[in-house]
Structure 1
Amino acid sequence: MNPTSLDGIGETAVVVAALRALESARPDHLFLDPYAERFVEAVAGDGYWEKAPSGWAGFAEVLAGQVAVRTRYLDEALLRASAEGCGQVVLLASGMDARAYRLDWPAGTRVYEIDFAEVLAFKAGVLKGAEPLCEHVQVPADLRTDWPGALREAGFSPERPTAWLAEGMLYALPPEAADVLLDRVSRLSAPGSVLAADHAPDSPVLRESRAALSPDLVDLWLGGPRQDLGGWLRGRGWTAEVREVNEVAAQYGRPAPPAFDPARDGSGPGWLFTARLTC
């Protein structure tokens, strides 16, 4: 598997899809994503595991556990928010996310996916013939531009409670961009809206695993929010439950993911959170 063959179509998104495919193949899987393997096959062709670069095994060892725990946690957060009245769901920088197709959404849920036009086109081609389990709207937009306007034009209503997903992206934003993202999400959210996300500072273990897989991934971490997550969210009206990745892993019967295992030299902290807009 050569992730750099994507020609800009979400390199990291397909790498994460490969990790979701590995988890889905486990007999004790924390979630089931029957579409993840399609994305990897579309990039690398048949026998893609045999083509994997030398750094893939080490990368998967370090990150697969975290992606499994993160995916399960965020699946549950979105479904819970939808069941509690968030009839709109927005997947920010959705990449190869197939939640519109694989989760059992409440009737009437509308899922918006925002990403670059070429990413969404690639995804639509791979998923051709599959049926979404909700009202599904793709919104081609660059998160550095006026994506709120594009979202409104696609039918989104800021007056209705919304469940937002920011998966695998906060750490890839400079602090100022993270602030802008949360400000925009907050302005578009009615009281009762929910934001679910993950975050982790960089660490030697993460950097080494990324470098071994692809030099293009080394500079992926740009910092994200400057404040602690609770304070960052609280300052914009959100009440958050922030949990350590290790704690959530234990809840699911899994060991601490290596990159976040305090017993491993060079590891660091990692968090998952669900926040609700209270005003």
Structure 2
Amino acid sequence: MCRRVPVTLIVVVMSTAHWIAAVRARETRRADRLFADPLASELAGEQGAAMMSRSEAASGGENRFIPVRVRWFDDAITAAVGAGIRQVVLLGAGLDTRPYRLDLPGDVDWFEVDRSTLFSLKEPVLAGASPCCRRHTVAADLAGDWAAPLCAAGFDPTRRTLWVAEGLFFYLAPESVVGVLGEAAALCGVGSLFLADVMGAAGLSVPAMQPFRDHLARNGLPPPFGSDDPAAVFADGGWALADLTAAGGPGANYGRLPETGSGLRRGWPHLVTGQR
């Protein structure tokens, strides 16, 4: 389905997981926080805090989109579960802690798919906490066969499913993005949803992105993924567009970003909901 991911990129993605946890930890400390993640600080560790500082020094300031993105996914997941979906699959789970911090019903089956090396870092921190729903970890590589391990962990293809890909597509080749979408579409039926953020292609060339692009180029890695037509990407993967909003648009602002209009905005990150 997808080509093998180079080891260097695996290291980059794992380091980024610590960085995102550090961003969640900082947001949690704000008086006007958009969410609270009590476990984020320990998961981030000194590595995450240092990476966040280096990233912001290189890009020229704080990435204000990430907390907005986290909150958007929080709200979308809560809404889908509130509408009756009881099976959730988080692809490229990283150091996410939503089963511990969102008010999810106890009968929700929450599956986290990521590499075993990631879970070896994450699970010791979570050992002293209790999830509010049924959490299942699935050690699998999204560049290989992840459907079989997912089903072996108890995933039921006959149930309506909410698929979540937060901060994932950015690191995949275009054919891998379509492959993940297509694999998910083949594993679920009518009424299932797919949530993802898609970076705008034109936005990949802005100055703030250059340090990361240089890092990838130095290590012989492909550039980050982006598209200014997320609906077409989802359609190629077997999903109809249910909702799309640019960063700062309706439902993706929370008073933190410059306001944008509704619909597609070329070059901007978009938060996308696909439906089967």
Give the TM-score range, shorter chain.
0.7 to 0.9
Residue of structure 1 equivalent to 2:270:
271
1:11 corresponds to 2:11: no
Residue of structure 2 equivalent to 1:27:
31
Single out whichever of 202-211 and 180-189 deviates more from structure 2. 202-211
Residue of structure 2 equivalent to 1:233:
234
Identity %: 32
Task: Answer yes or no: is the 8 Å Cα contact 1:230–1:240 preserved in 2.
Answer: no
The runs of at least 4 consecutive aligned structure 1 residues that moved more than 6 Å come to: 6-9, 211-218
1:107 corresponds to 2:109: no
Residue of structure 2 equivalent to 1:264:
none
1:197 corresponds to 2:193: no
Give the partner amino acid of 2:133. Answer: C
Gap change, CA 1:194 and 1:52, over 3 Å in 2: closer
Query: Using the alignment, how far apart are the partners of 2:58 and 2:40 within structure 1?
Result: 17
Residue of structure 2 equivalent to 1:246:
248
The SS at the match of 2:159 is coil
Query: Using the alignment, how far apart are the partners of 2:123 and 2:94 within structure 1?
Result: 11
Single out whichever of 167-176 and 215-224 deviates more from structure 2. 215-224
Residue of structure 2 equivalent to 1:40:
44
Gap change, CA 1:75 and 1:54, over 3 Å in 2: closer
Shift of 1:222: 2.9
1:222 corresponds to 2:221: no
Gaps of 5+ in 2: 1-7, 261-265
Query: Using the alignment, how far apart are the partners of 2:100 and 2:80 within structure 1?
Result: 18
Task: Answer yes or no: is the 8 Å Cα contact 2:69–2:252 preserved in 1.
Answer: no
Shift of 1:61: 6.1
Gap change, CA 1:162 and 1:53, over 3 Å in 2: closer
Residue of structure 2 equivalent to 1:169:
168
Give the partner amino acid of 1:97. Answer: D
Give TM-score, length-normalised by structure 1.
0.82
Shift of 1:9: 7.8
1:76 corresponds to 2:72: no
Gap change, CA 1:272 and 1:110, over 3 Å in 2: same
The SS at the match of 1:76 is helix
Query: Using the alignment, how far apart are the partners of 2:34 and 2:219 within structure 1?
Result: 26
Task: Answer yes or no: is the 8 Å Cα contact 2:34–2:71 preserved in 1.
Answer: yes
Q: How does 1:131-150 map to 2 (within 5 A)?
A: 131-150=130-149
Shift of 1:224: 4.8
Residue of structure 2 equivalent to 1:263:
none
Task: Answer yes or no: is the 8 Å Cα contact 1:53–1:213 preserved in 2.
Answer: no
The SS at the match of 2:64 is helix
Gaps of 5+ in 1: 261-266
Query: Using the alignment, how far apart are the partners of 1:56 and 1:187 within structure 2?
Result: 37
Query: Using the alignment, how far apart are the partners of 2:52 and 2:37 within structure 1?
Result: 23
Deviations 1:36-83 (A, max 9, x none): 101122x54xxx85x668634436864531110100001111111111
Give the partner amino acid of 1:229. Answer: P
